[in-house]
Structure 1
Amino acid sequence: MKSNLITRTGHDQLVAELQHLWHEERPEITKKVNWAASLGDRSENADYQYNKQILRKIDRRVRYLGKRLEELRIIDFSPEQEGKVYFGAWVEIENDLGEQKTVRIVGVDEIYDHHPQNISIDSPMARAMLSKQVDDEFEVITPLGKKNWYINAIRYEKPENSSI
């Protein structure tokens, strides 16, 4: 089961996507479908079939986003998180081979937003890091075996309108 956690930024992006699909893309495609339908025989009409397919995809995504947004729980930064790895943290890590990465622990709905540093809170890497502090070591079991990582730095995006 996937978690229902999401950062405020991730939530805002999903809301923006829903608004864009509903108010811009869907009306545009609906016009094209209506135009193509007015030409007559729909079974031989590639424009009609293609745009109808796009419309179905948009409607599926709109339904999904509508339901998903109701289920999600926004997690904002809290001062108690400072110094430890929790949801929403940017974490700089390093392994025994000196490989370094910076990752951000986010909700499953945010790992597909074209940000390669985002990792799901449900991933083995994120689970192993939770509650750790700078200089702590953690172990992740991968298909290639156990890997040891070290926490070099932890930071959070704090709300702009906050005095935190």
Structure 2
Amino acid sequence: MSDKPIYITPAGYRRMREEYEALFAVERPKLVETISWAAGNGDRSENGDYIYGRKRLREIDRRIGWLSKRMAKATVVDPARQPDRSRAFFGATVTLADENDEERIVTLVGEDEADAHAGRVSWNSPIARAVRGAAVGDVRTVRLPAGEKEFEVVAIDYPEG
């Protein structure tokens, strides 16, 4: 992983921590128990429980390692504490209008919590980079795969603290 900061909202960090704890404290111990039981059944070469269990255990251990590294490097930024609420920064929910007055609402979040279908876009995505620092009324050009598109910032909201 690079040395650039990993920004994340408190809710995103909480979800990451919950996944880590579920894997480490619940799923992994159950799997180790199943693998031990399957290993005691004799021939391991044709033992589906043992083979699948070992494969799944490697997947879980890889995910636990990845999550622990991300959490260690994460910088939790609470958007409710943003002092300048007149501009779009990390954690802001921004309402944009295109040339056809079609509105699009996006929330600028960390890379690990982005979900385009839910309107949460990575703060490093093209649309987020274009609107970062923008104020209501600003027009920004976004480079999309289909070409450039202009958006006007209609509203900026932050969660209440």
> 1:33–1:115: structure 2 CA closer, same or farther, 3 Å change rule?
farther
Unaligned runs of 5+ in 2: none
**Percent of aligned positions with the same letter in both sequences?**
36
Does the Cα contact within 8 Å between 1:6 and 1:109 map onto a contact in 2?
A: yes
Partner Cα separation in structure 2 for residue 143 and residue 3 of structure 1: 27
Q: 1:94 pairs with 94, 97, 105, which one?
A: 97
Task: Give, in angstroms, the shift of residue 25 of structure 1.
Answer: 0.8
* Local SS of the residue matching 1:81: coil
Look up the equivalent residue of 2:112 and give its one-letter code: D
Equivalent position SS for 1:80:
coil
TM (normalized to structure 1)? Answer: 0.90
Contact 1:3 1:122 in 2 (8 A): no
1:7 aligned residue: 9
Compute the RMSD of aligned alpha carbons.
1.6
Structure 1: which 4+ aligned runs deviate by more than 3 Å? none
TM-score, normalised relative to structure 2: 0.91
Match of 1:139 in 2: 141
Which runs of 5 or more residues in structure 1 are unaligned?
160-164
The equivalences for 1:31-50 within 5 A come to: 31-50=33-52
Report the Cα distance in structure 2 between the residues aligned to 1:154 and 1:117, rounded to whole angstroms.
14
Q: Distance in 2 between matches of 1:157 and 1:41?
A: 57
